[in-house]
Amino acid sequence: MEVIVSKTTHLSPETLFAVLKKSLKEDYIANTQQNLADSDVKEGLTFVKNYGKNHQNSVRVLVSSFVENHRYEALFSSNRGSQVILYELTPLGDGKTMLRLKQETIPASFVQNLNDYLMSFLFKKSLKRQLSAQLTALINAAS
């Protein structure tokens, strides 16, 4: 299932991307207990992220694309499948930036694929609202 949302803001791509980069670094440090230099935040960076109430679940994170001030894509993989998250920032002129967020789920099995297909009809609107809220939070954090 693929969901795409976008928003326009008066913030620059540099300002927005700085927040994305800071968030990625904080996530890396929190999950690995290792420091991460700005120069190490790049395509190919990988780490294991723990989540859940007692951090009982984990997912492997791979930064699959990292183009400063333009594009950040990460692949989250687990035994339940994969999820691709993509942020794209496009300058529009007049000091405006188009911020686009795409989330794609890649199921691990045929049964899960069928289930995701059926559930997408029920949850696609909800997921769009959630992703839109994520973009709003990013814009607010950068303001």
Residue 31's CATH number: 3.30.530.20
135: nearest Cα among 9, 36, 10: 9
> Could you read off the pLDDT of 51-97 as tens digits, one per residue?
888 888 899 999 999 999 999 999 999 887 899 999 999 999 888 99
Q: What is the mean pLDDT of residues 8-33?
A: 96
Cα–Cα distance, 107 to 87 (Å, whole number):
21
Q: Which domain holds residue 87?
A: 2-142
Q: Give the residue, 41 or 109, on which the prediction is more confident.
A: 41
pLDDT at 56: 85
Q: What is the mean pLDDT of residues 121-128?
A: 76
Length of the chain: 143
pLDDT at 121: 61
pTM over 0.75: yes
Average pLDDT, the chain: 90
Look at phi and psi of residue 66 and say left if phi exceeds 0, alpha if psi is from -120 to 50, else beta: beta
Q: What domain count does the chain have?
A: 1
